[in-house]
Structure 1
Amino acid sequence: MSTAQVNGIELGYDDVGAGDALVLVHGHPFDRTMWQPQIDHFSQAGYRVIAPDLRGYGRSTTAPAEQPAEQPAEQPAEQPAEQPAEQPAKTTLDVFARDVEALLDCLELHRVVLGGLSMGGQIVMECHRLFPERIRGLVLADTSPVAETPEGRIGRNRLADRLLGEGIGGYAEEVLPKMVAPATITGQPEVAAHVLTMMRNTAPEGAAAALRGRAERPGYEDSLSRAAVPALVVVGSEDEFTPVSGARLLHRIVPGATLAVIDGAGHLPTLERPTEFSAVLSDFLESIPHTVPRER
């Protein structure tokens, strides 16, 4: 693992292989190892694969807490200085996107194929909104382009409070059967264990800040409808969080996008069906003209 100082934090990331750059953004509440099968496969197939830990996740840090402004030295006794109310930490999608951009700058990568899953897919959509000129291909896996609903905002903020109050372990156990398909838990216990470990190892503070940020998530239908690069939409057939119907909507929005449904996978086809996911991604990458000569 390498590290980079970006936007006031230390960002951990893997940078493996050589060739055209493929940047992969993980979802919540995971880390860069959710892409390990793809990192291994594509770094050996002539691509340079970069997979960061988002701020507050994995080996990356969060920004230092802001200090309240100093109060005047003298205050009348009958009017004590009011202490500013402490605001809950919040990491919005544009903050994550600017971290990705800063990492590209550090690595001197001008244009990349950018992929993300779930929250990572929404960060990729935000990257496309902010700096589309740096993206030569989009991979949107198990994700949604629609704005957060009022009910969703309430739910995400409540969950953020819960994680800060009781830790992430109970939530991780509770949500595992939705993160992966039932057949994955029974037939691939090592994959289920990996997913559970990623969730348990996520700092509640980072997860809670991201949840509060996603509670303010905008819609990306307009910016995606003007996408001028190749795009791949992928979804697990058993995904409960972002079902196939949502992927079909995303497929219709993005001009010329390719849709792939990974049979038998839940919300994490990268780990549940890595061979099938990598095959779909490989076909997509091979359809994009290469900018770096391939090794023979």
Structure 2
Amino acid sequence: MRNTAYEDRGTGAPLLLVHGHPFNRTMWHPQTEHLAAAGHRVIVPDLRGYGDTPPAGDHTTLDVFAHDLAALLDRLGVARCAVGGLSMGAQIALEFYRLFPERVTALVLAAGSPRADSAPARRVRRTTADRLLREGMTAYADETLPKMVCRDTLQTRPDVNRHVLAMMDTTDPAGAAAALRGRAERPDYLTLLPRITVPTLIVVGRHDEFTPVAEAELMHRHIPGSRLEIIESAGHLPNLEQESAFNAALAGFLTEHSPLARSGGSPG
């Protein structure tokens, strides 16, 4: 997609961060600021139908998102990079690796599940897509917030709650509905996991209701050499709810597995 909106901050080995549903690239603001200041190049796009990128069609499958991201990297002259995502973004990261393994130097899978939807789950996604087109995002956002973040966040982090609600409430219903329909048809990635050969960080909030710790542990068991980080006092959005802990885990992983670190070199 030629008109993908994005932010490109910092220098160094590039990292592409893919937001979840129904959010936008500002979801990664704490990581963009921290990692760019620490010497990383961070590329954060708005997926089609989210943020400042317009929707296109009424049905967006994960491979379409992955091809959009590949086209953006081509525009930026980035041949290879680390790819990270949260929730739907983690599934898109897996799809990107499936399609373009030669372009991925490392994976970061946060609050994700590798499983395909069950038949009931597919029906719920399609019903929700119809509802969003009919009613808009506001009621959905209000209902979903208590599941997106943990109880501690709801009670003590009004800044995070406002940010999450604003992202959900301002998402284009057409884009969100198209993505829900596409996710209902996503493949099962369990058979892909053992074939992942790049360094992989798996992150999950201790109190995640959508993708519980068990899903992260499943990925950890199946991806050779992967690292699992469980973020305490966090739900489905650990990068916002506990940004310091998330940033530390991510920055440490990237530093350890940067091309320079793997080559044993030193700054020039």
Match of 1:271 among 237, 240, 252: 240
8 A Cα contact 1:224 1:254, kept in partner? yes
2:221 aligned with 1:249: no
Structure 1's unaligned 5+ residue stretches are 1-5, 66-88
SS for the counterpart of 1:57 is coil
Question: Secondary structure of the equivalent of 2:38?
Answer: coil
Give how far 1:199 is off: 0.2
* 1:96-154 deviation digits (Å, cap 9, x = unpaired): 00001111111111110100000000000000100000000000000000111101110
Q: 2:24 aligns with which of 26, 31, 35?
A: 31
Does structure 1 residue 262 correspond to structure 2 residue 231? yes
Judged with a 3 Å threshold, the aligned counterparts in structure 2 of structure 1 residues 255 and 185 are, in CA distance, closer, same or farther, namely same
Q: 3-state DSSP class of the match of 1:116?
A: strand
Residue equivalent to 2:205: 236
1:208 matches 2:177: yes
- When Rg is computed on C-alpha atoms for both structures, the one with the higher figure is 1
1:145 maps to 2:150? no
Paired AA for residue 247 in structure 2: S
Out of 48, 60, 64, the position equivalent to 1:91 is 60
Which of 202, 223, 235 is the matching residue for 2:192? Answer: 223
1:21–1:294 distance in 2 versus 1, CA, 3 Å: farther
In structure 1, the partner of 2:5 is 12
2:142 corresponds, among 164, 173, 186, to 173
SS in 1 for 2:113: coil
Which residue of structure 2 aligns with residue 288 of structure 1?
257
The equivalent residue for 1:81 is none
Q: Which range moved further: 164-173 or 218-227?
A: 218-227
Q: Which runs of 5+ in 2 are unaligned?
A: none
CA contact 2:22–2:176 (8 Å) conserved in 1:
yes
2:40 to 18, 29, 47: 47
After superposing on structure 2, the runs of 4+ consecutive aligned residues of structure 1 that deviate more than 3 Å are: 291-296
**What is the rounded CA distance, in whole Å, between the counterparts of 2:12 and 2:258 in structure 1?**
12
- Structure-2 separation of matches of 1:128 and 1:289: 18
Structure-1 separation of matches of 2:147 and 2:117:
20
Distance in structure 2 (CA, Å) of the matches to 1:294 and 1:187: 42
Find the aligned partners of 1:294 and 1:46 in 2 and give their Cα distance.
Answer: 14
Distance 1:114 1:196 in 2: 26
* Distance in 1 (alpha carbons) for counterparts of 2:162 and 2:96: 31
Question: Displacement, 1:290?
Answer: 2.7
Of 105, 112, 116, 1:136 maps to 105
| Structure richer in helix, relative to its length | 2
In the alignment of these two chains, the number of paired residues is 265
Aligned to 1:56: 49
What letter corresponds to residue 188 of structure 1 in structure 2?
A: R
What root-mean-square deviation, in Å, do the aligned CA atoms of Structure 1 and Structure 2 show?
1.4
* 8 A contact 1:142–1:267 mirrored in 2: yes
**Partner of residue 71, structure 1:** none
Give the CA deviation at 1:294: 7.7
Partner in structure 2 of residue 189 of structure 1: 158
SS of residue matched to 1:50 = strand
